[in-house]
A = this chain, B = another copy of it.
């Protein structure tokens, strides 16, 4: 059986390369997805995830992460976590408990420390400088342009699937704010018998549509990954327009259990993909007419300016 890895934003490209090598070497979907995400968590050039992440209203970097094993439906999640290297790895470890899979704040930090996870101060000088420049802007919150949650969906040669996510969340967020990323169903979902999905963009809007699980339900009803992603994003976009009169930045990746992918988006959205039949490739997705997604292969990554 083939393997595949699908991940959000240009910043995921290096991670997709490393994950696809792991998958080729018979690694599990979980190991591949976590490696993919950690490449971004550890790189301070990517300012919305992990090291060098976006600070909250008080200038502190709090991270969220989630992980779901599609074979068992076991999941783990952490939110409002300060001072650790890899929220996705901590989330993954939490899935193995029968209870207490979703931990936040000081409790999550106590768990991570007791479990021996690597600590790290994620507030870099650059994070702090950005905060000091922008801290008065909390009345006009926005997603940091062109950066957002790293999500990875993986399928391994045994047919096992998983979903992983990691983010520092909304820039200048309120203390204790959780977005969609640690919220199963909204930020991520995986079922090896069907497929997997994960979302990036404005978490508060993504949660209104329970976007990832919605797409997996559509996969289950027989849609292709592309149809499921397009339909889920189009429905949420229409709901936000009709009920709240607003638009929002929302992107969704979907991986079928045959390794094919789909994307839905309201904005220009780069993503990376690799499989046993395709080398790591950067794509650009745009919202087309009638809720369809227009996907183009990026020949020269330097032409994609946003991470």
Contact = CB atoms under 8 A, between A and B. Distances in A.
Contacts of A110: 175-176
A105 interface: yes
A204 interface: yes
A244 interface: yes
Interface stretch (A25-33, A95-103, A116-124, A273-281): A95-103
A194 to B, nearest CB: 11
Interface residues of A, number: 47
Interface stretch (A177-185, A253-261, A289-297): A177-185
Give the copy number: 2
Contact of A204 (B98, B141, B214): B98
Contacts of A100: 141, 170, 173-174, 177, 204
A80 B100 CA distance: 12
A208 B101 CA distance: 11
A184 B213 contact: no
Contact of A107 (B103, B175, B214, B217): B175
Interface in A196-244: 202, 204, 207-210, 213-214, 217, 239-240, 243-244
B189 A210 contact: yes
A88 interface: no
Contacts of A72: 243-244
B210 A177 contact: no
A98 B186 CA distance: 17
27 contacts: A71-B243, A74-B208, A75-B208, A79-B104, A80-B104, A80-B107, A98-B204, A99-B173, A99-B177, A100-B174, A101-B204, A101-B207, A102-B177, A102-B178, A102-B179, A103-B174, A103-B177, A103-B178, A104-B105, A105-B106, A107-B176, A108-B176, A183-B184, A185-B207, A210-B213, A213-B214, A214-B217
Given A102-B178, A105-B105, A106-B175, 4 more contacts: A73-B239, A102-B177, A184-B210, A185-B207
